[in-house]
C-alpha cells in the first residue's frame, strides 16, 4: 500500500529560525512528488513538483528537494506569514495523489 509519512507533525519556529520538514514515501512507481500549502479553512495551494532524485526547486523562502525515499521542504528565515500546514503528496498510478497528514508550522514573531 502506498504510504506517505510527514514529520514532525507540528513545529513552532521563531521568526528567522530556519528548519526542514520531512516527507518519506513508500509507493510503487512514483510519478511525481508534490508539496502544497494549506491554510485553515482553505484548500491546498500548489507549491512544487519534483520528479527525479536530486531535483531541487525554490520559491521565496522555500526550497524542496527529493531523494529516492524522501523529500525535504526547507524553510529559510521564516516569517509569520509562512505559518500553515504543509502537505506532501506522491502521485501514483492514474493521477492519484497519496497525501501525508501534513506538517503544521507556526512561526512566532
User: Which residue ranges make up the site for other proteins (CB under 8 A)?
Assistant: 4, 31-32, 34, 36, 41-46, 49, 87, 89, 91, 94-102
CA–CA separation, 5 and 101 (whole Å)? 7
* Identity of the residue, 45 or 56, whose beta carbon is nearer to other proteins in the bound complex: 45
Q: Which residue has the cell 495551494?
A: 45
The helix/strand/coil state of 16 is coil
Q: How far is the CB of 50 from other proteins (least distance, A)?
A: 12
Q: How far is the CB of 97 from other proteins (least distance, A)?
A: 6
Length of the chain equals: 109
Enter the C-alpha cell of residue 83. 505559518
Rg, Å, the chain Cα set: 13
Nearer to other proteins, 10 or 108 (CB): 10
CB of 27 to other proteins, least distance (A): 12
Amino acid at each position: 500500500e502506498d504510504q506517505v509519512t510527514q514529520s514532525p507533525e507540528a513545529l513552532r519556529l521563531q521568526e528567522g529560525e530556519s528548519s526542514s520538514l520531512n516527507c518519506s514515501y513508500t509507493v510503487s512507481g512514483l510519478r511525481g512528488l508534490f508539496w502544497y500549502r494549506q491554510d485553515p479553512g482553505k484548500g491546498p495551494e500548489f507549491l512544487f513538483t519534483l520528479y527525479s532524485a536530486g531535483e531541487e526547486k525554490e520559491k521565496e523562502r522555500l526550497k524542496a528537494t527529493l531523494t529516492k525515499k524522501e523529500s525535504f521542504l526547507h524553510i529559510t528565515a521564516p516569517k509569520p506569514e509562512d505559518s500553515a500546514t504543509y502537505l506532501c503528496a506522491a502521485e501514483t498510478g492514474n493521477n492519484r495523489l497519496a497525501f501525508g497528514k501534513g506538517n503544521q508550522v507556526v512561526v512566532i514573531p
